[in-house]
Structure 1
């Protein structure tokens, strides 16, 4: 496999779709359902990109994005945020993510945005 992506998405159906799309595009992917799981498992994976949902059962992906950008170990890692409830302007004003994908997303657009950040 090639590049590695950590995906934080609490919705099982969306996580399954993302899994299919990214693995088909030859990415190695590790999935997390909540922030607690992410914080416990993301460190050892050596990801090349973080793909984060905003609304999560145990917190907010925007806050996690801010934490990742404030940490010297992950500050330079690309972060792509996903949400059905926030606009791109709101996302960019609240965290320093490299990109934002609105749900529901177009599959080709999704892949091209991930590719642009990881290559």
Structure 2
């Protein structure tokens, strides 16, 4: 039993090491077929087809609009809403903040 646990722990440690070394970005910006991974607030240099070099910056808007089936509302863009199909033609929209504020429609 301990041998299996030790083997599983070793496997997890080996897999976790390389994953932490890669700097994954939250967004992929594609311009004219050229993709660059970027996070909000960052800038990147992009060489477009034809050789033109451009500097792009991804910035977050202060507010965003969420649209459901028959409603929409504005919210801080640092929060995102999720849509879940609960079955029997029932759809739940949920948005929650780190402080515990929850909006459910």
Common fold by TM > 0.5: no
Structure with a larger share of its residues in strand: 2
Structure with a larger share of its residues in helix: 1
Q: Which has the higher contact order (CA 8 A, sep 6+)?
A: 1
| TM-score normalised to structure 2 length | 0.18
Report which of the two structures shows the higher radius of gyration computed on alpha carbons: 2
